[in-house]
Amino acid sequence: MISDIDCLKVGKPAPNFSATAVYDQEFLPIQLTEYLGKYVVLFFYPLDFTFVCPTEITAFSDQYERFKKINTEILGISVDSEYSHLAWLQTDRSAGGLGDLNYPLVSDLKKEISSSYNVLSDQGVALRGLFIIDKQGVIQHSVVNNLAFGRSVDETYRTLQAIQYVQSHPDEVCPADWQPGQKTLVPDPIKSKEYFTAI
């Protein structure tokens, strides 16, 4: 029998979920399928009121407009309740809180979402999993960090741009560290030489 975890792969549909989120000091029902037609950066973090987590969460919020301009929404998820999320949002950044964020924080108190994305740790909290989901609801990128170190917002943004480029240019592929405006490759034994002879 194939489990949901077996189906969680890049190139496969992202598991849908319904949950309560906190945004703009309010509790909101949220479903992943509401975001079809947009790209989604979905990231998990271990717990509210911890130490590495606010650095990531606020960094994504501070750069939210960059993501929004390229048709992308951001969702943060942890196993905390919506009440814990709200209290953390109402805590000033200078005191280890979040302040106002530009995107929702989702409550996964029953740990069902973390389980469906295979990021629930043995300690019962989510590892630092990050998934880029395309406009059709398909996972195009995933990365999972252990608990003690954070992720790069800039690298997430760069990867997202590469995904969007190859989806709009299906005859091209992006080399390592590709940035918009740089050369791409044609995945063909002969045509690819144009890239390699130019570097």
- Please give the structure tokens belonging to residue 134: 């395309």
Parallel, antiparallel or unpaired: strands 139-145 and 72-78: unpaired
Strand ranges in 79-138 using DSSP code E only, listed in sequence order = 105-107, 128-133
CA-nearest of 35, 190, 2, 17 to 117 is 17
Query: What ranges make up the beta strands (E) of 114-168?
Result: 128-133, 139-145
Give the catalytic positions in this structure: 53
The structure tokens 């792969």 sit at 9
Rounded to 5°, angle at Cα 42 from 107 and 7: 100
Tokens of 127: 């590892």
Q: Which two tokens stand for residue 168?
A: 């709009």
